[in-house]
Chains A and B, each alone.
Chain A
Amino acid sequence: MDQKQSKNNEKTWRLIVLLAALTMLAAGFWRDETLFVLRRAISICLGCIGIG
């Protein structure tokens, strides 16, 4: 019984996480956050090179 309940809890949490992920992705695309990621990613990260 406990095992079945924990399995149901896992499914519920998985559903919540996936729905939250899709909602956040939609919000991110709506706010055009990919442009922010692009701007960061196309300028060389000086920290990564060790001179930032």
Chain B
Amino acid sequence: MCSGGPSAYVWGVLALADLRRQKKGRKLVQVFVTGAGNAWLPGFINGTIYQGQLKRLCLPGLNCYSCPGALGACPLGSLQSSLADPHLRISFYVLGFIFLLGGLLGRFVCGWLCPFGLFQELLHKIPVRKWKPERIPGLHRRLLWIKQAVLVVFVVLLPVFGMLVSGYGQPAFCTYICPSGTFMAGIPLMAANASYRELAGWLFAWKALILLAVIVTSLKIMRPFCRYLCPLGALYGYFNRISLYRIRVDSDSCNNCGACTRQCPMAVQVPEDGNTAECIRCGECAAVCPTGAIHCGFPRRRSSVQEDRPIA
């Protein structure tokens, strides 16, 4: 299981990601990745977590390693723990993992491989009146900076300063913010294990409030946590401009109808700048393009499709 598990995971993703039917393929991949990454079912019944060797490996998305079913480790939790550890200080393994996924896929991870992204997308399907913050461009642009601040303060500075001041820091993002941890780990563990319920205090109330806020805003706004709060998305976003998996727009075929930009769940201006840090490579733009001018994927050999269109 230890050697076969990760390769089965990768092959499952590749087999389901039929890029010709990107919309259906993406949902299948999201469900497969969420299920395969959290497949240790006894944990949900007993209120314990998986403790086998597979947990040496990081999962690509925001998948709490304290989730009762989690078979792998959360890259962001591991990064914070390494920064907070006085003996290790920096984990080349975790950084290398994030760099490798970033260089190959960019924020494809957010669009296809993150369980918490899937959770928000499903919530957004509930039919209530929707709201697009990008209708107020100034507000939208300012809100985009929040996840950068969360990355710097909660993922890097607080764990490092905690370690320098008291000798051992703590993963501040996991402790004070991460709604994925509350949803995937806190609630299932408390539901199955009475001793955790007795220990819950103001911190759990605070984190439950954050989760509730994410749930409510997800009903109105597409992926609010991914857009404005997620530090892992911010990290992968740095690689979007150079990643191998990318958006390409054929400027000769594009008729500037704007359908792609209207469809984009992350409010990206696709023809002008498809590979901005906000693009999650979901492929919705390519699916709605009436002229087939948008290609979302790995480079084709000797293709007529051009790189990103220059800004008009």
Contact = CB atoms under 8 A, between A and B. Distances in A.
Contacts of A25: 92-93, 96-97, 100
A20 B181 CA distance: 30
Contacts of B196: 49, 51
A35 B57 CA distance: 10
A14 B243 contact: yes
Nearest to B206: A50
Contacts of B100: 18, 21-22, 25
A interface bracket (residues with beta carbon within 8 Å of B): 35 or more
The residue in B66, B100, B307 that gathers the most chain A C-beta atoms within 10 A of its C-beta is B66
B49 A47 contact: no
A38 B239 CA distance: 27
Given A14-B242, A14-B244, A34-B93, A41 B171 contact: no
Interface string A1-39: 001000100100110011011111111110101111110
Nearest to B180: A48
B111 to A, nearest CB: 19
Nearest to A14: B242
Contacts of A48: 64, 66, 77, 174-175, 178, 181-182, 185-186
Interface string B61-95: 00011100010111001100110010010011111
B49 A17 contact: no
Nearest to B65: A41
- Which of B70, B206, B239 has the most chain A CB atoms closer than 10 A to its own CB? B239
Contacts of B241: 10
A52 B242 contact: no
A18 B189 contact: no
A23 B100 CA distance: 10
A28 B209 CA distance: 37
B199 A28 contact: no
Interface in B85-115: 85, 88, 91-97, 99-100, 102-104
19 contacts: A25-B92, A28-B92, A28-B93, A37-B55, A37-B73, A38-B55, A40-B65, A41-B72, A44-B49, A45-B65, A47-B170, A49-B186, A49-B190, A50-B182, A50-B186, A50-B200, A51-B201, A51-B204, A52-B203
